[in-house]
Structure 1
Amino acid sequence: MNETTNPPSSSYSKRNMIGLFLGPALFLLTYFLIPDSIMGHEPRVVLAVTMLVATFWITEAIPMAAASLVPIVLIPVLQGAEMGTIASAYANPVIFMYAGGFVIAIAIEKWNLHRRIALGIIGMIGSQSQRIILGIIISTAAISMFVSNAATALMMLPVAVALIKEVKDKQILSGDNLRSFSKSILLSVAYAATIGGLATIVAAVPNAVLAGIAYEQLGRTVTFVEWFMFAGPVALLMLVILYFYLTRIAFKITKNDEEGNTGNIDFIKEEKKKLGKFNYNEFMVSIAFGLTVLLWVTLPFIEDLDFIHDGSVAVFGALLLFFIPSNKKGERILEWQDMTRLPWGVLILFGGGMAIAAGFSSSGLNEHIGDLLGMLQGLEVFFIILLLVVIVLAITEILSNTAVANLVLPLTLGMGLALGIDPLPLMAAAALSAGSCYMLPVATPPNTAVFSAGYLEIGDMAKAGVWLNLASIVIITLAVYYWMPVVFGL
């Protein structure tokens, strides 16, 4: 048979096929089984579309970014909400903030500034085994505050693997000590990349979704500084727990005369030599990056300029990089072809989540959800937050944190309004919980990346992840209930 007449092999896995059929089925059941006397046409359309999109996200029946465009087609066509309401969600100012951050991150990677930062921090901390772990944690978390956790993990993974090979080749550590060091350093990369992203509004997808929904639905601007003051201590506490758990409990290295000390490692010096001296291009990227962060930090405190959104600042910092010439003839620090590396799909994912939230609000679906949540009316806010953190943490170990954030944050908005409490703390609890994925290799890209190195077993990650999840439950709940009102003046 001719090659052109051969039937194509299936492009869909079993999971995808389930989603292709289950999504439309749930859409029809949701719309037609709910009586019009209970819920009107508009909220039923929005709820049905949400069920369809959620199924496509969970099963990845089609790419997640493509599924995120479904609301802009179905909700206006089926008259669940106006086109302008849904379409404007895809141009939320927070999306531009995240896009600007992505562009700056591309420049940092292009000119290898991230490797210099990481190697410099490890070099300063020291080369004893525990100090190397600490250096990896600090450098990974620092980069992850401004670069996506997936990109950060992929940046740091080669450094971690090279350190493992150096220790093994020079027989500085052996046996159980080598295995403990290998597992500890890889888990440090995965977990520090995740934890670092919690601290800023620009690094973790759930944080950005929260800021976008708060801006669109509550008319509140969650600034870079506010979020950092609130979530920074949460991330710091988690990093301290991570370091002591990995080095003193889970993967403790026995310190014999010749073991536990990796002082002879010259990998760091060799890698820094390869990078060469700090050059003009790195300096220019540092200037643009530093200026962006400086504006994020200072503008909220200047009363006459507090109308400037963090999104404008991020795009300004990104635009600078297209103006500044590099030391390569005829080339600027960033050229437009570099934008092929911009994760457009993630930006559309943001838009999809915010479009669903806009549909919830404009159709009146939030009020219906609120009625269903009336049973929680008598519960203390503390226990509502605790329950929310536990549920979201459990869900996000299985599903994409982007999908969880897009689905749960609109619900928490409706929950807060229904219970007569400020929705922002509930949204913050959900966002931080959705961004905390530690137990499974599939839970988050950093986990997947380090697991692919071949040094870890699922049991290693699950065991460490359980304890980090328990720590997250306590720290996030306490921070949202006691610390967030102080920072945000709630």
Structure 2
Amino acid sequence: MEENQTKLSDRFSLKKFIEFAVIIVITAIIWNLPQDSFGIAGLTVIQQRVIAIFVFATLSWLTEAIPSWATSIAIITIMCLTISNNSLSMFKGGGAAISANGTELEFTKGLKFTSGIIGENKIIIDEKGQQLTLRGNDVAFRIDSLHKGEVIATTYVPDNEDKAFLTLTNANVKEGSRSDSLAVINAVVTKDAEVTFLNKGGLINLKKIQIKDGDKVVRQWDFTKVSDRDLNSLQKDAAIWSAASDKSGVYTNRATLKGADFGAELKSSDIMATFANPIIILFLGGFILAIAATKSGLDVLLAKNLIKPFGKKSENVLLGFLLITGAFSMFVSNTATAAMMLTFLTPVFAALPASGKGRVALTLSIPVAANIGGMATPIGTPPNAIALQALNGPELHMGIGFGQWMSFMFPLVIVLLLISWFLLKKFYPFSQKTIELTIEGDVHRGWRMWVVCITFAVTIIMWLLDKVTGVDANTVALIPIAIFAVTGVITAKDLQQINWSVIWMVAGGFALGLGMNGSGLANAAIASIPFGSWSPIVIMIVSGLICYFLSNFISNTATAALLVPILAVVCNGMGASLDPVGGTSTILLGIALSASAAMCLPISTPPNAIAYSTGLVDQKSMLKMGIIVGMITMVLGYVVLYMVGKMHILG
């Protein structure tokens, strides 16, 4: 009897509990290790926490001590509570001691100094120049609670190459002057709001900042005579300094910052937004299409009509099931596709000789085609979405469209399906030469069926022509969601069928990527590790094999979520040195391809598990077919990706 899913379970696994406890201990150790243990120069507290969270994710996904989707939820929750601007107070950074003119510098209430660290972007006290230094492309000296009409006069030393300059938000530049050694900006506050000084390039040494109301100097900060004591302390700690408030409401420097640079906190809204990433919407569109196709009977209608041209010859029917399953898996969950297609085959199995190998061939054709077919589109399988997000993200911004993806992946999938057909015929020949096939199922005949058919066609066409229409695939995915909701094709109850665990898994991968890039860990790793000296061929082969191996034993989504953020950093660091293997796209798309190629065992993919559960195929046969098709997929796939990179199809 099935357990009632609406009630709490009393199940308890001591093994899982011990595994999870060990993971927590290891994570805590890494969380609290001395920063120099990691070999990354300038590693911040926030960045170390990101490393610890990444280790937690890796071990949890590998051991499955908790469900994979639960790991993703834990990742997002831990990040919000420990490394975001809304983190618990115990995880926030403290204030820092600083003085000007040899005395304590009081920060008027509302004044904040923020780091905005990205790699080497820091606000520090420069020991040699003895002034406040802004270094990098995204650092800010922020002043809150300014009043409209006040003037901010900023005196600074630009870098020697004349690349550094200050820009201000919520302020208009009134006048300024510049000599060989000094530059002055006078800007008028445009409204009651914070004003941020941004350094858009190079290195700036701030000398003085004055807030003026008419001719009266309301506030002033002079950074030209910082005491040696404070300089030594700050230089030793590489301290980013932040104002700390006492009971009088005045910001002072009384609390000295201890330890290493704390680093820039992430916005909790950005972390939470990983669950509403545009790629997530793309996936939701795919799920909604699949639900509508099943509910209306469109899948049955397509299967009936698509299988007819293949006739009754056994080998041709096998080819038909391979191609139809592969085609469905491009737009529908490969798990749902496998379950549906095996249902259609049930009457066929009864008609085939029990002693023949034809049953094995047909049964294996479903998971093989479902796994291969998913490679053809960005929504075919979650690893595709994770790789696409990395390639189109702000670090690589390759702008790969739905149609571009299919332009090279679809032909590859067709070739692989034909090869699989040849192998299945050879290894498991039919003893019965013909098959009488009848596909049963209800097909809706009302007007909503037309809504489903037309919407399905329009969505796919717009996906394929996204570069022509100018509407990206993520936005197009909203069309079926909106139309089916408005017309009643999809109801609130139907939404329960969406595979939310997959959505959470993908979001967890995005959150890890955000943690690595948003904290500056990615850039710090690039600066500390000589990626440029690594062999691109070794990177390509090793990353593909690791992904293939792991995906045979754990979720391919979890594998991609772990490997893609790391490889995105590696690829960014290697730059043009990856050209011999076709560039960054070869490495990251290779992860998605390798994840789909892993189909050796019943536990490797859900379609494998469904096929194995029929009892018509043994593990030995699945292993044999899985290894051969997987290796062929890897070899041909990487050749195609190499050619795509060399031909600059993806830009």
* Contact 1:389-1:430 within 8 A present in 2 as well: yes
* Contact 2:532-2:573 within 8 A present in 1 as well: no
SS in 1 for 2:615: coil
Cα distance per residue 1:438-464 (max 9 Å; x no partner): 100001100000000001111010111
Long gaps (5+) in structure 2 = 1-7, 84-264, 577-582
Aligned to 2:623: 462
% same residue: 26
Q: Does 1:353 align with 2:509?
A: yes
Question: Which segments of structure 1 move beyond 6 Å, counting only runs of 4 or more?
Answer: none
Aligned to 1:97: 282
Aligned to 1:329: none
Q: Does 1:147 align with 2:332?
A: yes
Relative distance call for 1:278 and 1:163 in structure 2 (3 A) is: farther
Relative distance call for 1:114 and 1:62 in structure 2 (3 A) is: same
Is the deviation greater in 343-352 or in 180-189? 343-352
| Higher gyration radius (CA) | 2
Aligned to 2:35: 35
* Number of matched pairs: 452
Is the deviation greater in 19-28 or in 199-208? 19-28
Aligned to 1:120: 305
Is the deviation greater in 110-119 or in 440-449? 110-119
Counterpart of 1:29 in structure 2: which amino acid?
I
CA deviation after TM superposition for structure 1 residue 93, in Å: 0.5
Cα distance per residue 1:90-121 (max 9 Å; x no partner): 22111001101111110001122112222322
CA deviation after TM superposition for structure 1 residue 396, in Å: 0.8
**Cα RMSD after superposing both structures:** 2.3
Cα distance per residue 1:172-192 (max 9 Å; x no partner): x452xx2x1111111100010
In structure 1, how many angstroms separate the alpha carbons of the residues matched to 2:305 and 2:13? 44
Is the deviation greater in 24-33 or in 411-420? 24-33
* Contact 1:386-1:473 within 8 A present in 2 as well: no
Q: Does 1:224 align with 2:402?
A: yes
Aligned to 2:490: 334
Cα distance per residue 1:457-481 (max 9 Å; x no partner): 1101011111112102211221121
Aligned to 2:432: 260
CA deviation after TM superposition for structure 1 residue 201, in Å: 0.5
* Contact 2:72-2:504 within 8 A present in 1 as well: yes
CA deviation after TM superposition for structure 1 residue 280, in Å: 4.1
SS in 2 for 1:231: helix
In structure 1, how many angstroms separate the alpha carbons of the residues matched to 2:282 and 2:643? 28
* Contact 2:398-2:650 within 8 A present in 1 as well: no
In structure 2, how many angstroms separate the alpha carbons of the residues matched to 1:236 and 1:184? 18
Relative distance call for 1:34 and 1:99 in structure 2 (3 A) is: farther
- The structure in which a higher percent of residues are strand is 2
Relative distance call for 1:386 and 1:477 in structure 2 (3 A) is: farther
* Contact 1:225-1:297 within 8 A present in 2 as well: yes
Long gaps (5+) in structure 1 = 1-7, 168-172, 254-258, 325-331
Higher relative contact order (CA 8 A, sep 6+): 1
SS in 2 for 1:95: helix
* Contact 1:118-1:140 within 8 A present in 2 as well: no
Aligned to 1:195: 372
* Contact 1:12-1:61 within 8 A present in 2 as well: no
Counterpart of 2:610 in structure 1: which amino acid?
A
* Contact 2:375-2:596 within 8 A present in 1 as well: yes
In structure 1, how many angstroms separate the alpha carbons of the residues matched to 2:15 and 2:463? 42
Counterpart of 1:31 in structure 2: which amino acid?
W
* Contact 1:230-1:487 within 8 A present in 2 as well: no
* Contact 1:153-1:446 within 8 A present in 2 as well: yes
Q: Does 1:208 align with 2:371?
A: no
In structure 2, how many angstroms separate the alpha carbons of the residues matched to 1:50 and 1:333? 41
* Contact 2:585-2:641 within 8 A present in 1 as well: no
* Contact 1:133-1:185 within 8 A present in 2 as well: yes
Aligned to 2:480: 317
Q: Does 1:433 align with 2:437?
A: no
Q: Does 1:343 align with 2:499?
A: yes
Aligned to 1:256: none
CA deviation after TM superposition for structure 1 residue 340, in Å: 1.1
Aligned to 1:299: 466
Give me the TM-score of the superposition, normalised by structure 2: 0.66
Aligned to 1:62: 66
In structure 2, how many angstroms separate the alpha carbons of the residues matched to 1:84 and 1:458? 46
Counterpart of 1:407 in structure 2: which amino acid?
L
Relative distance call for 1:278 and 1:483 in structure 2 (3 A) is: farther
Counterpart of 2:548 in structure 1: which amino acid?
L
- The structure in which a higher percent of residues are helix is 1
In structure 1, how many angstroms separate the alpha carbons of the residues matched to 2:443 and 2:511? 47
* Contact 1:288-1:317 within 8 A present in 2 as well: yes
Aligned to 2:50: 46
Counterpart of 1:210 in structure 2: which amino acid?
A
Give me the TM-score of the superposition, normalised by structure 1: 0.86
In structure 2, how many angstroms separate the alpha carbons of the residues matched to 1:33 and 1:11? 35
Relative distance call for 1:371 and 1:241 in structure 2 (3 A) is: farther
In structure 1, how many angstroms separate the alpha carbons of the residues matched to 2:515 and 2:445? 50
SS in 2 for 1:69: helix
CA deviation after TM superposition for structure 1 residue 123, in Å: 2.2
* Contact 1:15-1:59 within 8 A present in 2 as well: no
